[in-house]
């Protein structure tokens, strides 16, 4: 039998990589990531002359990188991230002309970066971060590299020479968030990057105005500038970025009016300009953005009438206007005061008629206001809290923050694996409680659909027996690959399955009869809420012990909504035509018979 692909990852195998591996001479892909291997990389790997991909990342390999790899002349990818490899970066990498990905980050490599790496004309992705390198960056590296600039460039604290990126006209992704960048945004740099698709400059200390040259970025889809110190007005030229889907400018010092030209961004789905100093009316042109599903204008100085004809303004759960005291109108659910419109001057009336008219109107207004006040004070306190306040909004996190929170998604932080991805424990810098990060394996069929289902199912729900979702992250990783993750609160007592069956020797409680009844009631309360107390009935489709998580007090929280279905309409009137997904999935023995 000729083995061409050997792919094992995220397992607790352990052991060493045996020299007999060199007998698999027809091997083209060798991917043994995160399976707790140790020892040295055997020299016999050099016998795999047909090998194109070598991935031994997230293990505990030590020693030097074997020179025998030069025999593998067809290698295109070498991924040795997160090991304990030592020695210098071999200069012989410069002879591997087929190589397009060389990832050596998070090891114990020393010495300087060999200039010979600049000879690899096909190299697109080079990662050397988190080693013990010294010296200068070879000039030859800038001759033929392309692709995205990694966000961790901001950690080059001793960098003295400035490497301009204004000539990187093919650059598509630039993510430098959460660094210590300061000063004005150089328009002469970004004006040339016309192929940018993803631009993240958030969580820095950038100042000054937003350059109008950003209007030249015709391919820009995602633009994050939040949490800086930018000021001035938003340039109207930004309305020419017709491919924008997300524009987030919150927590800056922008002033003036909201440009009406933003109404031309027909692909826009998220617009967040909250926590600034805008002082204008809301442009009615924003009603034209039919794809816009999140609009946050909170905590500015906006005034005047809120549009109410259509678009995002007709959806109370999609718009946030908190902190603007002088707004009026809009849909009734916003509970804003009625806008007073000055009567037309076309029809002149006598002074007597004007006084009578004004008196009548004044009396009616006073009576109406008095009625509203009395009605407000006497009616039952019944809140419909569909527009979240600033404090209850999701955390906004980047891939870099989640990467740091989980120690690079290391195996030591891995707490389990689900149907669509792996789950890691971690801690965010600005969040006091531990978290778990569910990272989806997007190569798995249905994983992205699972991500959307879980975010949609949990995003607007609040119940003490549902696992609280802190945020969803849809971004790109340091390799430029799509990245999707869901962040939850950490449950210290793990799953009910581990408590019942003592899985992996967990330090568990001996559940007595009363505790078991309490947990069952908690799950019942959660299901009752999902079935009867939400606008859309939610059918979990996979209620089993491993999806019931327990906090410090053994209170049960139902989680893992990756297979959940939303049923439109009121309870008791749903039928098969109302189910949003027709694919039958779930765990045998736990799937509801009706689905």
3-state secondary structure of 317: helix
Same fold, 1-145 and 146-153+167-342: yes
At residue 211, the pLDDT reads 92
pTM for this entry:
0.41
- What is the average pLDDT across 221-229? 93
Q: 589 vs 44, which has greater pLDDT? A: 44
At residue 354, the pLDDT reads 61
At residue 459, the pLDDT reads 64
d(CA 312, CA 331): 11
Q: What is the 3-state secondary structure (H, E, C) of 92-161?
A: HHHHCCCCCEEECCCCCCEECCCHHHHHCCCCCEEECCCCEECCCCCHHHHCCCCCCECHHHHHCCCCCC
Domain boundaries, the chain: 1-145, 146-153+167-342, 399-578
d(CA 178, CA 421): 26
At residue 538, the pLDDT reads 79
Residue 378 has pLDDT above 50, yes or no: no
d(CA 247, CA 270): 6
CATH architecture of the region 146-153+167-342: Alpha-Beta Horseshoe (3.80)
Q: 477-505, pLDDT tens digit by residue?
A: 877 788 888 888 888 888 888 888 765 55
Task: Tell me the pairing of strands 326-329 and 421-426.
Answer: unpaired
Residue ranges of the annotated binding site for ATP are: 438
At residue 161, the pLDDT reads 39
d(CA 143, CA 164): 13
Residue 181 has pLDDT above 90, yes or no: no
- What is the average pLDDT across 519-545? 84
- Compute CA 189 distance to the chain's CA centroid, rounded to the nearest angstrom: 27
How sure is the predictor about 48, in pLDDT bands with cuts at 50, 70 and 90?
very high
CATH code of domain 399-578 = 1.10.510.10
Residue 586 has pLDDT above 80, yes or no: no
At residue 274, the pLDDT reads 94
> How many C-beta neighbours within 10 Å does residue 278 have?
20
Superfamily name with CATH number, domain 1-145: Ribonuclease Inhibitor (3.80.10.10)
- What is the average pLDDT across 199-214? 90
Q: 350-361, pLDDT tens digit by residue?
A: 555 666 667 677
Closest residue by Cα to residue 303 from 267, 268, 340, 278: 278
The residue whose two tokens read 């100093």 is 277
Output DSSP code: residue 79. E
Stretch among 30-34, 224-228, 460-464 having the lowest mean pLDDT: 460-464
3-state secondary structure of 485: strand
Given a contact cutoff of 8 angstroms between Cβ atoms, the answer to whether 98 and 76 are in contact is yes
Whole-number average pLDDT of the chain: 79
Q: 388-434, pLDDT tens digit by residue?
A: 333 344 567 888 888 988 999 998 899 887 667 888 999 887 677 88
Residue ranges of the annotated binding site are: 438
Alpha-helical (H) ranges within 231-350 are none
Tokens of 371: 């009625």
How sure is the predictor about 271, in pLDDT bands with cuts at 50, 70 and 90?
very high
Tokens of 266: 């027909």
d(CA 586, CA 528): 20
Given a contact cutoff of 8 angstroms between Cβ atoms, the answer to whether 138 and 115 are in contact is yes
Stretch among 47-51, 294-298, 570-574 having the lowest mean pLDDT: 570-574
At residue 379, the pLDDT reads 42
At residue 425, the pLDDT reads 92
- What is the average pLDDT across 220-249? 93
How sure is the predictor about 589, in pLDDT bands with cuts at 50, 70 and 90?
low
Closest residue by Cα to residue 211 from 192, 229, 184: 184
Closest residue by Cα to residue 117 from 131, 134, 135, 137: 137
> How many C-beta neighbours within 10 Å does residue 514 have?
8
3-state secondary structure of 81: coil
Residues designated catalytic? 542
- Compute CA 323 distance to the chain's CA centroid, rounded to the nearest angstrom: 26
């Amino acid at each position: 039998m000729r083995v061409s692909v050997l792919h094992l990852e995220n397992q607790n195998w352990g052991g060493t990589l045996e020299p007999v591996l060199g007998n698999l001479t027809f091997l083209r892909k060798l991917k043994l990531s995160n399976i707790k291997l140790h020892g040295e990389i055997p020299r016999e790997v050099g016998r795999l002359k047909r090998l194109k991909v070598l991935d031994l990342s997230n293990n505990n390999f030590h020693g030097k990188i074997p020179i025998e790899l030069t025999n593998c002349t067809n290698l295109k990818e070498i991924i040795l991230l997160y090991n304990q490899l030592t020695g210098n970066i071999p200069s012989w990498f410069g002879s591997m002309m087929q190589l397009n990905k060389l990832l050596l980050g998070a090891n114990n490599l020393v010495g300087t970066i060999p200039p010979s790496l600049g000879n690899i004309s096909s190299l697109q992705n080079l990662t050397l971060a988190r080693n013990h390198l010294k010296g200068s960056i070879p000039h030859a590296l800038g001759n033929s590299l392309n692709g995205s600039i990694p966000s961790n460039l901001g950690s080059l604290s001793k960098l003295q020479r400035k490497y301009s990126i204004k000539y990187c006209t093919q650059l598509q992704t630039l993510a430098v968030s959460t660094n210590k960048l300061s000063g004005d945004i150089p328009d002469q740099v970004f004006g040339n990057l016309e192929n940018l698709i993803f631009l993240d400059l958030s969580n820095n200390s950038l100042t000054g105005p937003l350059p109008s040259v950003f209007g030249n970025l015709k391919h820009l889809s995602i633009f994050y500038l939040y949490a800086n110190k930018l000021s001035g007005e938003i340039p109207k030229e930004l309305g020419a970025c017709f491919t924008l889907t997300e524009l987030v400018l919150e927590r800056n010092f922008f002033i003036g009016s909201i440009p009406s030209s933003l109404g031309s961004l027909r692909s826009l789905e998220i617009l967040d300009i909250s926590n600034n100093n805008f002082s204008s009316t809301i442009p009615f042109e924003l009603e034209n953005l039919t794809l816009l599903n999140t609009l946050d204008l909170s905590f500015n100085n906006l005034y005047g009438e809120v549009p109410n004809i259509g678009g995002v303004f007709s959806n109370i759960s999609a718009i946030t206007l908190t902190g603007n005291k002088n707004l009026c109108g809009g849909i009734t659910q916003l509970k804003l005061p009625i806008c007073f419109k000055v009567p037309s001057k076309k029809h002149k009336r006598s002074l007597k008629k004007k006084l009578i008219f004004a008196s009548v109107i004044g009396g009616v207004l006073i009576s109406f206001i008095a009625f509203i006040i009395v009605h407000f004070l006497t009616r039952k306190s019944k809140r419909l809290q569909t527009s979240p306040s600033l404090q209850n909004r999701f955390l906004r996190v980047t891939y870099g923050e989640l990467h740091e929170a989980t120690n690079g998604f290391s195996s030591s932080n891995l707490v389990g694996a689900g149907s669509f991805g792996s789950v890691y424990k971690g801690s965010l810098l600005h969040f006091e409680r531990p978290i778990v990060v569910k990272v989806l394996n997007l190569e798995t069929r249905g994983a992205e659909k699972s991500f959307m289902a879980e975010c949609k199912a949990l995003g607007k729900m609040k119940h003490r027996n549902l696992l609280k979702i802190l945020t969803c992250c849809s971004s790109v990783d340091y390799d430029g690959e799509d990245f999707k993750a869901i962040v939850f609160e950490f449950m210290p007592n793990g799953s009910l399955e581990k408590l019942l069956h003592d899985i992996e020797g967990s330090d568990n409680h001996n559940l007595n009869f009363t505790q078991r009844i309490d947990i069952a009631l908690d799950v019942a309360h959660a299901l009752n809420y999902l079935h009867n107390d939400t606008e859309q009935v939610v059918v979990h489709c996979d209620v089993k012990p491993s999806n019931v998580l327990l906090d410090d007090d053994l209170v049960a929280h139902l989680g893992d909504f990756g297979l959940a279905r939303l049923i439109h309409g009121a309870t008791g009137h749903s039928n098969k035509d109302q189910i949003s997904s027709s694919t039958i999935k779930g765990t045998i023995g736990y799937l509801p018979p009706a689905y």
